[in-house]
Amino acid sequence: MDLHILDHRLRVTCISKSGLQRYTHPLIKLIFLRNRTRCKFFSLTETPENYTVVLDEEGFKELQASEHLQVEGSTWLPLNVVSNGNTSSSSQAAGVTKITKSVIAPLAEQHVSVFMLSTYQTDFILTLVEEFSIFREERGEFLPVHSQDACDGSQRNGRDAAHATVHPVLVPENQFCVMSLDPETLPAIATTLIDVLFYSSSFKEDASADPERIKFFSFPADLLFTSSSGELWRMVRIGGQPLGFDECGIVAQISQPLAESDISAYYISTFSFDHALVPEEDIESVSEMLQTQRKDIST
Amino acid sequence: MDLHILDHRLRVTCISKSGLQRYTHPLIKLIFLRNRTRCKFFSLTETPENYTVVLDEEGFKELQASEHLQVEGSTWLPLNVVSNGNTSSSSQAAGVTKITKSVIAPLAEQHVSVFMLSTYQTDFILTLVEEFSIFREERGEFLPVHSQDACDGSQRNGRDAAHATVHPVLVPENQFCVMSLDPETLPAIATTLIDVLFYSSSFKEDASADPERIKFFSFPADLLFTSSSGELWRMVRIGGQPLGFDECGIVAQISQPLAESDISAYYISTFSFDHALVPEEDIESVSEMLQTQRKDIST
């Protein structure tokens, strides 16, 4: 298992629902006309509240400042884990579950805030650049080594991962698909994707109209969507209130019990909330697991 | 030959080059997502100055007012001529040439302002709604009959078609293609078209940088572009100054000499200038013809 620190410096931004129209021009360029832009990392996730756009500095230049664009102040650095075959992991589970023990848990212990972007093929773990400079390997696990000038995360935000707030979770009724797509076929489905991304929601729609079903569409960095196995996924949405960016341990809190039960999960952070996708057949046990965990910690 | 008065009420609008980004969202919907809009007539023409958008009232509602959008005040009514096989016309020429004698000349004589939109398959002749209510057929030609309350065009704008200003013409070096496209294949070339339409010109580009070559792209109402015969076309651009909308006889002025020589022509009016496309092999004789005409009238 190799941990790659990718050569991107990323910005996490958020476009309001009513601002989408204004940003259609740069977004279509970033998604469909890759040879028109020097942007190499792009991710867009629609939630009922807004659109979270994560992109590198080159892409960020394409987004003109306006009252519809919120920008998280930090620069984030993406890591990803590439399985190189000689892994000792016994887990067959997909997604974030596979890297919980090796990456997610150690980062939480080190009080490193993470912003997760799972895609079909890999999981991007975005961390704040200033929080570490070197990783060391220890018994097959990668541990970040804080640089001298980085302050201790637990002091910085006054919270300890083990005693982090346990956030309420919501389990909407929707079923989700997780897919991958050959970039070559992107042009062929461009109008369909444009329709879904830019025209499928009415701006006047009340986001809270049906709390049982939520609109969620994530278009990842390098790959996309083609129904793989017909498998359907259900969502666990984390956070009753917007989560913010400085709390650490949220991903670990969700992914550790999943890893213990060897349940696959895709984990997608957005500007306001976090989202875990788990196989449909596991949603009840996951939901129960997380409710129990919540009770255990709060008592 | 049947003259159809189409059931659309059209607006002629103009988007500035720097305003294109702002109108990308509604334009992509109008062009590619036809089932999202009730707009049934749409045409977009890019010239070095701006984008001319002609669309029906339903489509017009999609364009929010802004300083980047100019709207011609009138409502225009489109006519088109459908050849039903039993035409007595001896001409084999395509486009506006075929309808010069039967439609364009009579309209000019009646002082009816026309705005032309040639497409691969048909020519749309836009006229001001108030200028006529009934057409009468006379020896195979369709003549507009003015309604009682419509004033006489020659009095209204004080100009007579026969003595209309002869506008200077420009013949850029570019070669053009005139094509048709099955609407079914539109999704397949969407990204290419989006690239050409919305991303191929730099906003900072000086429109007059190369007067020998001009940027011109017209996306017609119901059909589009697939190379038919490989034939190439050259352009005659009419007007040294923007032409305005109340002058009549401009189309007739250009199309009559072409009709006399049986030269095919597509004629596309835009917000500022008119454009005739003629077969590449005829450009020199057309250019000469129009220069001679200009001298004849101005002397």
Percent residues over pLDDT 90 in chain B: 26
What percent of chain A is modeled with pLDDT above 90? Answer: 27
- According to the model, what pLDDT value does residue B148 have? 43
* Predicted confidence (pLDDT) at residue B228 exceeds the cutoff of 90: no
In sign, the C-alpha dihedral spanning B54, B58, B62, B65 is positive
Residue A1 sits at the vertex; the CA angle it makes with A116 and A141, to the nearest 5 degrees, is 75
Q: What's the mean pLDDT in A107-125?
A: 86
| Per-residue model confidence (pLDDT) at position A147 | 45
- Using a CB–CB cutoff of 8 Å, tell me whether A196 touches chain B: no
Whether residue B213 is predicted with pLDDT greater than 80 in this model: the reply is: no
In chain A, what percentage of residues exceed pLDDT 70? 76
Average pLDDT over residues B29-58: 91
In chain B, residues with a C-beta closer than 8 Å to the C-beta of A188 are: 187-188
Instruction: Quote the tokens at residue A176.
Output: 């989700």
B138 pLDDT higher than 70? no
**Residue A103 gets which letter from DSSP?**
I
Q: pLDDT of A134-163, one tens digit each?
A: 555 566 666 665 544 444 443 334 344 445
Q: What is the CATH number of domain B2-139?
A: 3.30.2130.10
Q: Say which residue, B128 or A229, is predicted with more confidence.
A: B128
Q: Strands of chain B (E only): list them.
A: 2-5, 10-16, 42-46, 50-56, 69-71, 76-82, 114-118, 123-128, 134-138, 141-145, 169-170, 179-181, 217-219, 224-227, 233-238, 266-269, 274-279
Q: Which of A203, A197, A148 is nearest to A44 (CA)?
A: A197
| Equal fold, B2-139 vs B169-198+219-298 | yes
Task: Grade residue A101 by pLDDT with cuts at 50, 70 and 90.
Answer: confident
The rounded distance, in Å, linking the Cα atoms of B15 and A242 is 40
Q: Are strands B76-82 and B2-5 parallel, antiparallel or unpaired?
A: antiparallel
B228 vs B258, higher pLDDT: B258
CA A8 – CA A40 distance, rounded (Å): 8
Tell which residue, B95, B100, B97, B243, has the closest CA to residue B164: B243
Q: Which of residues 214-233 of A touch B (CB under 8 A)?
A: none
Q: Rg of chain B's alpha carbons, rounded to an integer?
A: 19
Check CB contact of B36 with chain A, cutoff 8 Å: yes
Q: Measured between beta carbons, which residues in chain B are less than 8 angstroms from residue A20?
A: 25
Contact A146, A155 (CB under 8 A): no
Domain-wise residue ranges, chain B: 2-139, 169-198+219-298
The mean predicted confidence, pLDDT, of chain A is 79
What does the DSSP 8-state code read for residue B112? -
Residues of chain B in contact with residue A187, where contact means CB-CB under 8 angstroms, are 188, 190-192
pLDDT at residue B62, as a whole number? 94
Report percent pLDDT > 70 for chain B.
76
Higher-pLDDT residue of B205, A282:
A282
Tokens of B80: 């088109």
Q: Indicate whether B222 pLDDT > 50.
A: no
Q: Could you tell me if B98 and B118 are in contact, meaning their C-beta atoms sit under 8 angstroms apart?
A: no
Q: Does B33 touch chain A (CB under 8 A)?
A: yes
pLDDT at B152: 43
Residue B209 has pLDDT above 70, yes or no: no
CA B245 to the chain's CA centroid = 12
For B177-198, the pLDDT digits (tens) are 777 777 788 888 889 889 988 9
Decide if A24 and B28 are in contact by the 8 Å CB cutoff: yes
What letter would DSSP give residue A270? Answer: -
Q: Are B165 and B157 in contact (CB under 8 A)?
A: no
Distance from CA of A49 to the nearest CA of B (A): 20
Two tokens, residue A261: 């039960």
**What is the distance between the alpha carbons of residues B57 and B40, in angstroms, rounded to a whole number?**
9
> Which of B24, B192, B199 is nearest residue A24 as measured by Cβ atoms?
B24
Q: How confident is the model at residue B243 (pLDDT cuts 50, 70, 90)?
A: confident
- Whether A24 has its CB under 8 Å from any CB of chain B: the answer is yes
The minimal CB distance from B191 to the residues A20, A22, A32 is found for: A32
The C-alpha angle A93, A99, A103, rounded to 5 degrees, equals 170
Our CA-based measurement puts residue A38 at a distance from the nearest CA of chain B, in whole angstroms, of 14
Q: Return the residue in A191, A198, A199, A200 with the most chain B beta carbons within 10 A, the one to mutate for interface testing.
A: A191
Flag whether residue A22 sits within 8 Å of chain B, measured between CB atoms.
yes
In this structure, chain A runs to a length of: 299
The complex scores an ipTM of: 0.77
Calculate the dihedral angle through the C-alpha atoms of B35, B40, B45, B51, rounding to the nearest 10 degrees.
-80
Q: Which of A35-49, B17-31, B78-92, B155-169 has the lowest mean pLDDT?
A: B155-169
Is the CB of B66 inside 8 Å of chain A's CB atoms? Answer: no
Which residues from chain A sit within 8 angstroms of residue B190, using beta carbons? 187, 190-191, 194
Q: What is the pLDDT of residues A12-30, one digit of tens each?
A: 999 999 999 999 999 999 9
Secondary structure (DSSP) of A185-252: GTGGGHHHHHIIIIISS-TTS-TTS-TTS---EEE-SS-EEEESS---EEEEEE-SS---SS--SHHH
pLDDT score recorded for residue B196: 86
**Tokens encoding A192:** 């369909």
Nearest to B237 by CA among B280, B284, B277, B197: B277
Q: In which band, very low, low, confident or very high, does the pLDDT at A48 lie, cut at 50, 70 and 90?
A: confident
Residue in A55, A25, A29, A202 with CA at minimum distance from that of residue A14: A55
B18 touches chain A (CB under 8 A): no
The predicted pLDDT at position B61 comes to: 96
Domain A169-198+219-298 has CATH 3.30.2130.10: yes
- Dihedral through CA B283, CA B284, CA B288, CA B293, nearest 10? -10
Is residue B156 pLDDT above 60, yes or no? no
Query: What local confidence, expressed as pLDDT, does residue B145 receive?
Result: 57
**Residue B155 reports pLDDT greater than 90:** no
